[in-house]
Structure 1
Amino acid sequence: MILVTGATGTIGSEVVRQLAARGEKVRALSRDPAGAQVPSGVETAPGHHRDRASVEAAMTGAEAAFLVGVFGPDDAEHDRGLVAAARAAGVRRIVKLSAIGTGDPRLGAGDPDVGGFGTWHLHGEEAVRASGLEWTILRPSNFASNTLSWAQSVRDGTPALNMMGAGKQGVVDPRDIAEIAVAALLDPRHSGRTYTLTGPETLSAHEQAAVLGEVLGRPVALQDLSPEERREQLLAAGLGEVYADGLVIAARFIQDGGNDVVTEDVREVLGREARTYREWAVDHREAFGVS
């Protein structure tokens, strides 16, 4: 049995799908098990990463677990709690979804007063490495699917908001991240490894918009935001000041070229090239109103 936390999220849902397609026994953790859309044969269990008891109960009888526990700067204790729950339940192998830049001092790591993005997954990673279990950590770069936030603007013909300026990132397809998670959940040869996952090239938001426009056959316009405007947008979206400030630091880091990185980890694990952003855009063009 493999437990997948964050089972209805961008990566978790794809991990569930790929495991089920391989015939593995899967249990999906969801706050709404009745409403969770999972493949036939997949178990569902009620719970949330912030509810330690529910996670531990869902892990009972599982041999491996995919851990998704950080959604903001206040989740460090809950991230550690996922690891503790896995140990208490007798799970043998864990795969943690982290993020590129974790531990980077330019993203606030090492300075508790900054609370930057580089600290958000750090405590969870430390707990994973100290767990005594078989572990793998995945540090993906910017998800290709993040541009789904542009979909409504593209359909309306209005500029989508660009938080990242001209900074380039190694945009990675969530399907590749999930495929590597599945490999790590099933194969002990990935134990003790930290993989930094990127696509095959780095792209700025405007370069992504150009690719997407070519795929859709219509221009995709972006509106660049200043740092002050970024913070205002984040606060207006309901994020707290620490959360918003951490994301502003991350945006500045990206704009200054800090995430202009391509690795070979996808090729190393999967034995093929990482999918391009263009491939993702072609496969998801219907989300932008093009069949």
Structure 2
Amino acid sequence: MILVTGATGTVGTEVVRLLARRGERVRAMTRNPRGVSLPAEVVRGDFDDRESLDSAVAGVGAVFLLDAPGPWLERHDLAMLDAVRSHGVGKVVKLSAIGTGEETEPRVGGWHLPGERALRAGKAAWTILRPSSFATNTLHWASRIKAGQPISNLTGNGAQGVIDPRDVAEVAVVALTTPDHAGRTYTLTGPELLSTPDQVEILRNVLGRSIEITDVPLEVARKQMIAAGRDPDFADGAMRGQRFIAEGGNARLTDDVARVLGRTARTYATWADDHRAAFD
């Protein structure tokens, strides 16, 4: 049995689907299982409710550890890893973030670092996945594109190795189901460095329509996030990450997807073409 946390999110849903297709027994954890339809045993699990974690982990042999980024990650990761230890789970694959532990300035990756350290110190076989920016992050542009409004650019010409989450899910499934990736940390990127203007240009070509861009100062974006109800600590961390990207700090590519899957990572253009209906 393989437990997938964050099972209703972008990567988690795909991991569940791929595992089920392979014939694996899958348990999908979500805070609110009512109405969730997945090819798995769906269970309630809340990282802040230890009893629910014990129930979710009982009887499983491996865990895919995924949680939404934020300052709560340390607490959530450590709670799940304590449950893993208590129940003798043999393998954990953790979804982390690119650059975790590599920069002195706290940013999104810093939220994952305590969990990574605890995982390495435990007895379970472990694999850590550190993906770059997801192609699906640009789905939040869809409503503006449909309305003919400009795309907000917080990162200037800063480029990233934008990755298709489907590739992240495929790597996770391989790590969960084969023994060859224990003790490995993979930095997962797409095959090319892309800035926000680059991605917008690709969408223009795929959709065959005009899309404008407007630069937004980070302080303005921070205020907008907080006004929309986001936690100020989350907003601060997010803005540090945006500044890091704008300054070229995330302009890196690896071949780790190809090393694990035996094929080149999907391009952003491929992702955009497959998801054109979301923007039309």
For 2:41 and 2:57, the matched residues in 1 are separated by: 12
Where structure 2 has 5 or more consecutive residues not aligned to the other structure, the ranges are none
Q: Percent identity?
A: 53
State the Cα deviation string for residues 121-180 of structure 1 (Å, max 9, x = none): 000000110111100000000000000010101111111222222210000000000000
Measured after TM superposition, the shift of residue 36 of structure 1 is 1.3
Alpha-carbon distance in structure 2 between the residues aligned to 1:29 and 1:160? 34
2:18 is the alignment partner of 1:27? no
Contact 1:200/1:262 (<8 A) preserved: yes
User: Superposition pairs for residues 1-291 of structure 1, below 5 Å?
Assistant: 1-39=1-39, 42-108=40-106, 116-289=107-280
**Per-residue deviation at 1:183?**
0.3
So what's the TM-score if we normalise by structure 2? 0.97
Letter in 2 for 1:187: T
> Is the 2:96–2:109 Cα contact (8 Å) retained in structure 1?
no
Distance, in Å, in 1 between the alignment partners of 2:30 and 2:256 is: 30
Residue 145 of structure 2 aligns to a residue whose secondary structure is helix
Q: Which residue identity does 2:14 align to in structure 1? A: E
User: Where does the alignment leave 5 or more consecutive residues of structure 1 unmatched?
Assistant: 109-115
3-state DSSP of counterpart to 2:180: helix
Residue type at the aligned position of 1:48: D
Instruction: For 2:212 and 2:23, locate their aligned partners in 1 and report how far apart those are by CA, in whole Å.
Output: 43
- Using structure 1 for the length normalisation, give the TM-score: 0.93
CA shift, 1:70, in A, is: 4.7
Q: Is the 8 A contact 1:195 1:265 kept in 2?
A: yes
Q: State the 4+ residue runs in structure 1 displaced beyond 6 angstroms.
A: none
Deviates more, 1:225-234 or 1:180-189: 225-234
Asked if 1 retains the 8 angstrom alpha-carbon contact of 2:69 and 2:108, the reply is no
CA separation in 2, counterparts of 1:12 and 1:146? 15
Cα distance in 2 for partners of 1:79, 1:70 equals 11
| SS, match of residue 243 in structure 1 | helix
Q: Which amino acid aligns with 1:75?
A: L
Tell me by how many angstroms 1:84 deviates. 1.2
Instruction: Note if contact 1:67-1:95 (Cα within 8 Å) is conserved in structure 2.
Output: yes
Aligned Cα root-mean-square deviation (Å): 1.2
Instruction: Describe the SS at the equivalent of 1:195.
Output: strand
CA deviation after TM superposition for structure 1 residue 106, in Å? 4.5
Q: Given that residues 210 and 219 in structure 1 are in contact (C-alpha distance below 8 angstroms), is that contact kept between their aligned partners in structure 2?
A: no
SS in 2 for 1:62: coil
Question: Could you tell me which amino acid in structure 1 is paired with residue 87 of structure 2?
Answer: A
How many residue pairs get matched? 280
